[in-house]
A and B are shown apart, each in its own frame.
With several copies, the nearest count.
Chain A
Amino acid sequence: MDTLIETPALDSPYQILNHHGQLVGEPPNLTPEKLLSLHDAMWRTRMLSDKIVAMQRQGRAATFGPLVGQEAAAVGVGAPLKPQDWMAGSYREIGAYMAKGVRVQDFLDVYRGFPPPKGSNGNNCLPIQIVIGTQVLHAVGLAMAAKIKGDDAIAVGICGDGATSEGDVNEALNFAGVFKAPAIIVFTNNGWAISMPRSQQTSAPTLAARGIGFGVPSKLVDGNDILAVYKTTSEAAERARAGDGPTLIELLTYRMGAHTTADDPTRYRPKEELEYWKERDPISRFRKYLFDRNILDEKGEKLMTEAIETEINEAVEYVEKQPPLSPEAIFDITFEQPTPRLQRQRVVMRRELAEIAAKNEGKA
């Protein structure tokens, strides 16, 4: 067929810092302090991920999805945002959330199996989403509200490569385009959706190409290059804030670990991939960049990671010392006011709690 529209060739991923730590593009204009804070945030992401995995192994945390390997994609998206901006991501986005300002201890509670603690303010980050893809619509709605109200806020919706197959994510792109929402939609393409490789998730060569059919400008970016991610996000945020509408960003990265603590990737994933991506590690690359420019040295980095370790350990200690939330809480967070029936059900639960307490006392 003569005029058949074939998939256009897409530019290769936008890169500023290649995996040898060499500049291949124009870096964003950032102070050394800012650069260090990005490195710090990437380390914090990796170390918290590792910590929760360790806690899960010890029965101190519930199922967790590690994000080692995706630190640049996470931090580069979260760091350029302003406090009034909104973020909606999945279980894998603790790095972006922390870069946006969420405290370590607030995640710990969730991953220990409690609702977010009462005191946490969320920093305009929606609770981590479990139902794949749904949160991208929420992000677009948050952005639409900002526009309706005339707020100087934008919203970022983040989802995985697998999520792009869900109807909701495509509807989100369409709504963002139609309403010129001040939104950024980020596809964190980490190569896998549990056992499904990206290549089988869709037959399009890139996920960024999805933007074309919805009239949303899009960009394919090396997601392990913190400078490229940071710069692209900053520019998309500027566009959004200027009233120029949404941007779709595909970040090419890799999930170095298992899908979650319940998954065994050796069942489906070739080892060679890991080798390939290890060489493209986001932290080592940026580390070399900072070392080469004398912005950081061994000693500085050691201090940095020690401080993070202390921070995480203190947060763990803090949350584990808190009295556990009573299961009765469920009656107070279903509706603003519990219904009469919920009040009666609460009495039943109290009776059960009392019997358990009495039994335990009997034992003691």
Chain B
Amino acid sequence: MTIAENVNPAVSHKPASKLTMIEAINQSLRIEMERDERVVMLGEDIGRNGGVFRVTDGLQARFGERRVFDTPLAESGIIGTAIGLAINGLRPIPEIQFAGFMFVSFNQIVSQAARMRFRSGGMYTCPMVIRAPFGGGVRTPEMHSDSVEGVFLQTPGLKVVLPSNPYDAKGLLAAAIEDPDPVIFLENIKLYRSFKQEVPEERYVLPLGKAAVVQEGSDLTVFAYGAMVSVSLEAAKQVSQETGASIEVIDLRTMWPLDEETITASVEKTGRAVIVHEAPRAGGIGAEVTAIINENCLYSLLKPVARVTGYDTPFPSPQLEDLYLPTPRRVAWAIRETLED
């Protein structure tokens, strides 16, 4: 394979316009690596193969094996050595091939990367972005679809980002790479190629910790993130058409720290809230958002906050997953019930 063949259109120099999320992430990685010599990438099959989803396609050819390298098959080794890379002045972007395999490197993520600053009294830091795809609706084998973001709320020292569209993915990734602390960057496989979006060619940065109001409304707020944003929008549209209700949809974008200000302001306005995620319900992002609403604006609440989530079981086999994941139907039920007086 020649270098030319291996270069993805998105990483060539034509002005980009409509990009898939894969292309947007690839572009963002390229721009950040060009900008900052310290950025390096490591992981399984990210080099020659360009990643199992081609997210890193062409980057090894462009930046060389010194800065984009394949590792042995060992997730703890990937994160553990990335910690050393980060402490010694680089900005590593380790990829875990599927987020479910972060559990293999869990100690290195939560006891090591997340705590190096704390443990050393601020002397050493671990700026790194741990990228990993995840998410249902694509009929993957076991452990490839599981949502992991909720687990990281109980393990302080990490930020967690999860974009819902190509534009956000590019800007949030830039912010994550710039961030002085470790960031988990989760990519919904379902969104990788499902739609294209206008993405400016130049670099831009979307701040971490800020939710986005995707659709304004005054009667009820739906909080979602990742692939569940479009599911929520569809449900909101259905119910609005039926009932005329004005529904706000908020894309949380950063799972930690959650944007409490935006969450609170919206529920103070609407008085009703539905939270949607793929992850199981127990102890998930939805529980924390509910607790935040309870703490900050209980008196504005007209109805219980509803959680529409994956069920409290492991993520099921491909043939059973459609009814595990929140559907527009289930979200619409929750919206309708929450709108009732």
Direct A–B contact present (CB less than 8 angstroms)? yes
Given contacts A113-B318, A330-B118, A333-B117, contact A134 B72 (CB under 8 A): no
Given contacts A131-B107, A333-B118, contact A138 B87 (CB under 8 A): yes
Q: Are A196 and B70 interface neighbours, CB within 8 A?
A: yes
25 pairs, A vs B, C-beta closer than 8 Å: A114-B121, A117-B121, A131-B100, A131-B111, A134-B107, A134-B108, A137-B108, A138-B80, A138-B112, A142-B88, A144-B81, A155-B84, A163-B73, A171-B72, A171-B74, A175-B71, A175-B72, A175-B77, A195-B45, A200-B70, A336-B125, A341-B282, A341-B312, A342-B312, A345-B311
Instruction: Determine the chain B residues whose CB is within 8 A of the CB of A118 once the complex forms.
Output: 121-122
Judge if A332 is at the interface, Cβ distance under 8 Å: yes
Q: Are A340 and B257 interface neighbours, CB within 8 A?
A: yes
Which of A144, A200, A353 has the most C-beta atoms of chain B within 10 angstroms of its own C-beta?
Answer: A144
Q: Once bound together, how far apart are the Cα atoms of A329 and B122, in whole Å?
A: 10
Q: Are B72 and A144 interface neighbours, CB within 8 A?
A: no
Instruction: Determine the chain B residues whose CB is within 8 A of the CB of A202 once the complex forms.
Output: 72
Q: Are B85 and A141 interface neighbours, CB within 8 A?
A: yes
Chain A 196-228 per-residue mask, 1 if CB under 8 angstroms from chain B, else 0: 100011100000000000000000000000000
CB of B122, distance to nearest CB on chain A (Å): 5
CB of A362, distance to nearest CB on chain B (Å): 14
Considering the complex, which residues of chain B in the window 167-202 have a beta carbon less than 8 Å from any beta carbon of chain A?
180-181
Q: Which residue of A lies closest to B318 (CB)?
A: A113
- Choose one: B73, B80, B209, B313; the contact of A196 (CB below 8 Å): B73
Chain B 313-324 per-residue mask, 1 if CB under 8 angstroms from chain A, else 0: 110111111111
CB of A249, distance to nearest CB on chain B (Å): 19
Which of B67, B77, B156, B323 has the most C-beta atoms of chain A within 10 angstroms of its own C-beta?
Answer: B77
CB of A307, distance to nearest CB on chain B (Å): 28
Chain A 230-273 per-residue mask, 1 if CB under 8 angstroms from chain B, else 0: 00000000000000000000000000000000110011100000
Q: Which residues on A are within 8 Å of B, measured CB to CB? A: 62-63, 86, 88, 91, 110, 112-118, 120-122, 126-127, 130-134, 137-146, 148-149, 153, 155, 162-163, 165-168, 171-172, 174-175, 178-179, 193-196, 200-202, 262-263, 266-268, 324-325, 327, 329-336, 339-342, 345, 348-349, 351-353, 355
Q: Are B45 and A194 interface neighbours, CB within 8 A?
A: yes
Given contacts A165-B77, A352-B329, contact A115 B121 (CB under 8 A): yes
Among B12-20, B139-147, B218-226, B271-279, the one that faces the other chain is B139-147
Q: Once bound together, how far apart are the Cα atoms of A112 and B333, in whole Å?
A: 31
Instruction: Determine the chain A residues whose CB is within 8 A of the CB of B1 once the complex forms.
Output: 266-267
Given contacts A116-B123, A195-B45, A202-B72, contact A145 B85 (CB under 8 A): yes
Q: Which residue of B lies closest to A59 (CB)?
A: B139
Judge if B261 is at the interface, Cβ distance under 8 Å: yes
Instruction: Determine the chain B residues whose CB is within 8 A of the CB of A130 once the complex forms.
Output: 141-144
Q: Which residue of A lies closest to B73 (CB)?
A: A162
Q: Are A352 and B83 interface neighbours, CB within 8 A?
A: no
Q: Once bound together, how far apart are the Cα atoms of A62 and B85, in whole Å?
A: 31
Instruction: Determine the chain A residues whose CB is within 8 A of the CB of B67 once the complex forms.
Output: 148
Q: Which residue of B lies closest to A112 (CB)?
A: B319
Instruction: Determine the chain B residues whose CB is within 8 A of the CB of A332 once the complex forms.
Output: 122
Q: Once bound together, how far apart are the Cα atoms of A172 and B125, in whole Å?
A: 20
Q: Are A353 and B323 interface neighbours, CB within 8 A?
A: yes
Judge if B52 is at the interface, Cβ distance under 8 Å: yes
Considering the complex, which residues of chain B in the window 1-21 have a beta carbon less than 8 Å from any beta carbon of chain A?
1
Top 10 A-B pairs, shortest CB-CB distance = A141-B84, A137-B80, A113-B318, A141-B81, A145-B88, A115-B121, A195-B49, A165-B72, A171-B77, A162-B73
Q: Are A178 and B72 interface neighbours, CB within 8 A?
A: yes
Which of B107, B143, B316 has the most C-beta atoms of chain A within 10 angstroms of its own C-beta?
Answer: B316
Q: Once bound together, how far apart are the Cα atoms of A121 and B104, in whole Å?
A: 29
Considering the complex, which residues of chain B in the window 61-98 have a beta carbon less than 8 Å from any beta carbon of chain A?
66-67, 69-77, 80-90
CB of B205, distance to nearest CB on chain A (Å): 15
Q: Are B77 and A149 interface neighbours, CB within 8 A?
A: no
Q: Are A325 and B319 interface neighbours, CB within 8 A?
A: yes
